[in-house]
């Protein structure tokens, strides 16, 4: 198999920058793609080459297989990394890349199709001896068909996008929920996020924990795991905080879960990085776990695993896609540290978590021992209303959970983002909540607590903050005068571009 020389990254934001970084370290040329509103985005500036692929609407840009393949041909790219979201779990995209002679950095199209089909994935898990949550993809996808499936499975049920994860297109149907409105909303969101409105219905477990296992497989028959990540802190099925190891996983349970995950990956004939998600009920070695789904891509929260094991997952993805064997032996991997990640979203917790868009007037990332920030934004840049509101991820690591937690809190206290509201103050309240500190959490915990935690308790502006604001107001007059002088570099870009 040929080495990757020029990689097109079919994504944007922080994950595109993360992949471009790995390219730079490996001597691979990077090709960014962008929509009209992303022309000035950091991922475009960071890549060696950049190609416009369409207007702001994702369906005509980041979700357009034909535009992305054209961009690959135009630039002579020999491989494509899909990142997460967008086309990352679209088997037709992986297939189109393969047909165009491009290396797709991920599993073969047939594996994506198999694991993307909830029915087939569950059949495989069953065969590998892994319990599954009761659920189905109704053959009749009409409102009435989905409604009948909900009644068969019983309420509370979850209706979700068959084609992808991330909480997009997911609705919980309780005893008193208007099923039709939820079904139509889920379908529209699924269509908008994944280009596929097929819905899946499953039983909602009571207060389970979300624990997933990172697996990795190469083309030489090696299948390994890189331990678990716990992602139970979710708001409306959107993960907010992830960590490894999980406080709820005792050694016996870890052994059973990771063995099941490796067996499942082997059964699926898996290749490259993937994640097997489980829901866990109970605690200690007596806990039971159910297969939830398999994500056939790199996860948002992959840095947590990188920090606890000390490996570079993106680098390994590119090596394995080039045909190399896995760079690590199973027995060489250890849980060396504890890591916790917080996702920074452009949203206003004080106003019902409304997504925010606008200019970042001030944006300064924290720097400290044990702190890593994977971000897709810069000071002076804009957060667009067109895409996912994730701005950055802050990953803290240390020898113990309490050290990692202390580092994460301290880092968020030194992470000023001004011009739009973000969830940083909310994240701090979550991290400092006694339940989180004690590890007493499940996937419904944050939805129960979010209203209380979202309430803005700041009240009056303290005198010392007001003093700083007044000082800045006095200084601003001077700067505004200076700013009226045209900046030659800005003037130049008009014809350079």
Partner 1 sequence: MAEPKATPIGPGVVQVVHDGRADIVYVAGTSDDRWAFSNGRVYRETAAPESPAKTRSGSRPHVSQALSAPMPATVASVSVQPGARVRKGDTILVLEAMKMELPLRAPADAQVVAVNCRVGELVQPGTLLVELE
Site track for partner 1 across 146-175, x = CB under 8 A: ----------------------x-------
Tell me whether residue 234 or residue 356 sits nearer to partner 1 (CB atom): 356
Determine the Cα–Cα distance for residues 403 and 172; give it in Å rounded to an integer.
36
Q: What is the CA radius of gyration of the chain?
A: 23
Tell me the closest approach of the beta carbon of residue 86 to partner 1, in angstroms.
10
DSSP 8-state secondary structure symbol assigned to residue 461 = P
Tell me whether residue 489 or residue 495 sits nearer to partner 1 (CB atom): 489
Distances (CA, A) of 254 to 56, 152, 300: 43, 33, 22
Using the contact rule CB under 8 A, the part of the chain among 9-17, 298-306, 367-375, 405-413 near partner 1 is: 405-413
Query: Are 105 and 321 spatial neighbours (Cβ–Cβ below 8 Å)?
Result: yes
Site track for partner 1 across 52-81, x = CB under 8 A: ------x-----------------------
Q: Does 413 bind partner 1 (CB under 8 A)?
A: yes
Q: Where are the beta strands (DSSP E) in 194-265?
A: 199-203, 209-217, 223-235, 238-244
As beta bridge partners, residue 243 has 230, 340
Q: Does 437 bind partner 1 (CB under 8 A)?
A: no
Using the contact rule CB under 8 A, the part of the chain among 92-100, 239-247, 473-481, 486-494 near partner 1 is: 473-481
DSSP 8-state secondary structure symbol assigned to residue 132 = B
Q: Does 419 bind partner 1 (CB under 8 A)?
A: yes
Tell which one of 93, 387, 436, 445 touches partner 1 (CB under 8 A). 387
Tell me the closest approach of the beta carbon of residue 10 to partner 1, in angstroms.
17
DSSP 8-state secondary structure symbol assigned to residue 332 = G
As beta bridge partners, residue 199 has 161
Determine the Cα–Cα distance for residues 90 and 81; give it in Å rounded to an integer.
12
Q: CA 336: distance to chain centroid?
A: 23
Q: Does 455 bind partner 1 (CB under 8 A)?
A: no
Query: Are 328 and 306 spatial neighbours (Cβ–Cβ below 8 Å)?
Result: no
Tell me the closest approach of the beta carbon of residue 446 to partner 1, in angstroms.
16
Torsion of CA 280, 242, 388, 197, to 10 degrees: -10
Residues that bind partner 1 (CB under 8 A): 58, 168, 181, 185, 188-189, 192-193, 346, 351, 354-357, 361-362, 364, 385-389, 409, 412-413, 415-419, 421-422, 424-425, 428, 458, 461, 463-465, 467-473, 475-476
């Amino acid at each position: 198999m040929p080495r990757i020389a020029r990689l097109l990254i079919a994504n944007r934001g922080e994950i595109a920058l993360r992949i471009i970084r790995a390219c730079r370290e490996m001597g691979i040329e990077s090709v960014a793609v962008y929509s009209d509103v992303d022309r000035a985005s950091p991922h475009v500036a960071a890549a060696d080459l950049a190609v416009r692929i369409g207007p702001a609407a994702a369906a005509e840009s980041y979700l357009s297989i034909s535009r992305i393949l054209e961009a690959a041909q135009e630039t002579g790219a020999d491989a494509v990394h899909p990142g997460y979201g967008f086309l990352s779990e679209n088997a037709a995209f992986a297939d189109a890349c393969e047909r165009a002679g491009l290396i797709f950095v991920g599993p073969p199209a047939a594996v994506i199709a198999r694991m993307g089909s909830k029915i087939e994935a569950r059949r495989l898990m069953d065969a590998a001896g892994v319990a599954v949550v009761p659920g189905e993809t109704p053959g009749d996808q009409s409102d009435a068909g989905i409604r009948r499936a909900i009644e068969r499975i019983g309420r509370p049920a979850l209706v979700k996008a068959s084609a992808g994860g991330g909480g997009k297109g997911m609705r919980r149907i309780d005893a008193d929920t208007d099923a039709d409105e939820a079904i139509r909303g889920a379908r529209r969101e699924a269509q908008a996020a994944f280009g596929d409105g097929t819905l899946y219905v499953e039983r909602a477990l009571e207060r389970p924990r979300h624990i997933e296992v990172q697996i990795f497989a190469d083309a030489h028959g090696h299948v390994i795991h890189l331990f678990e990540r716990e992602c139970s802190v979710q708001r409306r099925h959107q993960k907010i905080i992830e960590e490894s190891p999980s406080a709820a996983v005792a050694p016996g349970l870890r052994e059973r879960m990771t063995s099941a995950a490796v067996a499942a990956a082997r059964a699926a004939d898996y290749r490259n990085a993937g994640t097997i998600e489980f829901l866990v009920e109970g605690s200690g070695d007596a806990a039971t776990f159910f297969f939830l789904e398999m994500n056939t891509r790199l996860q948002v929260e992959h840095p947590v695993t990188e920090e606890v094991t000390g490996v570079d997952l993106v680098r390994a993805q590119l090596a394995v896609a080039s045909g190399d064997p896995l760079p690590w032996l199973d027995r060489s991997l250890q849980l060396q540290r504890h890591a916790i990640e917080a996702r920074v979203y452009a949203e206003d917790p004080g106003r019902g978590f409304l997504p925010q868009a606008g200019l970042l007037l001030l944006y300064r990332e924290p720097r400290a021992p044990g702190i890593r920030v994977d971000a897709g934004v810069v000071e002076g840049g804009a957060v667009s209303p067109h895409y996912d509101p994730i701005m950055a991820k802050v990953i803290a690591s240390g020898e113990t959970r309490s050290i990692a937690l202390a580092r994460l809190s301290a880092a968020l206290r030194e992470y000023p983002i001004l011009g739009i509201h973000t969830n940083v103050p909310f994240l701090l309240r979550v991290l400092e909540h006694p339940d989180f500190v004690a590890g007493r959490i499940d996937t419904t915990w944050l939805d129960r607590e979010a209203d209380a935690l979202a309430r803005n308790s700041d009240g009056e502006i303290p005198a010392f903050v007001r003093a700083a604001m007044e000082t800045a107001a006095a200084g601003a007059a001077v700067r505004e005068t200076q700013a009226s002088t045209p900046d030659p570099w800005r003037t130049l870009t008009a014809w350079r571009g």
